[in-house]
A and B are shown apart, each in its own frame.
Chain A
Amino acid sequence: DTGVSQDPRHKITKRGQNVTFRCDPISEHNRLYWYRQTLGQGPEFLTYFQNEAQLEKSRLLSDRFSAERPKGSFSTLEIQRTEQGDSAMYLCASSPNDSEAFFGQGTRLTVV
């Protein structure tokens, strides 16, 4: 296992389309986090999972966003009816409970 893996690395989509991103955490890390990062800003927390349970969601996560971690391993983040303001880097991280999180390389979303 070489770390947190995210797919795709880049996604260009037309406004109004749905997109889904995947994150594979480090094996046996039971916490998984999703963040969004725009240029010049720090990562903004979106949501996190403890195993398959989604424990917290940011108010940034509108009802167009949904995240799942069905078996407590990989996770998906779906954005419905994308808007130009959704253009950002979407970062996934995992950690073994309350300790440092390891980030993936991110998925860069561009909504045109």
Chain B
Amino acid sequence: GESVGLHLPTLSVQEGDNSIINCAYSNSASDYFIWYKQESGKGPQFIIDIRSNMDKRQGQRVTVLLNKTVKHLSLQIAATQPGDSAVYFCAENPSGDMRFGAGTRLTVKP
């Protein structure tokens, strides 16, 4: 069936390094993708989104890349900080309801 999934369940990086979190999707009809950050005990927080007519979108310290050919999405965080430690989810929104993957836990080491 259609699904959204992540390549790695955990990622540990050194403070100051760049982080890359990957996501694979299988619904070729998906045209809108969102990255969320979730800290413990809180609801998911919107980070950045991208529509299928774009390959790249940049925000503050974050960049999302979309490769529609291989149905792959990535989130790049520049100069990772301790406050970036959280679980990151990608979500696709093909028809109005968002579908989430299981998430990647990012841990930033000081």
**A91 with B44, Cβ < 8 A, contacts A33-B98, A42-B103 known:** yes
Which residues in A have their C-beta under 8 angstroms from that of B34?
A: 100-101
Are A103 and B45 in contact (CB-based, < 8 A)? yes
In the assembled complex, how far is the CB of residue A109 from the closest CB belonging to chain B, in whole angstroms? 14
Contacts of B103 in A (CB 8 A): 41-42
Is the CB–CB distance between B97 and A103 below 8 Å? Answer: no
Which of A33, A42, A102 interacts with B97 by CB under 8 Å? A33
Given contacts A103-B44, A105-B42, contact A42 B101 (CB under 8 A): yes
- From A45, A55, A99, A106, give the contact of B43 (CB < 8 A): A106
Residues of B in contact with A (beta carbons under 8 Å apart): 32, 34, 36, 41-46, 49, 89, 93, 95-103
List residues of A whose CB falls within 8 A of some B CB: 4, 31, 33, 35, 40-45, 48, 50, 55-56, 58, 91, 93, 98-106
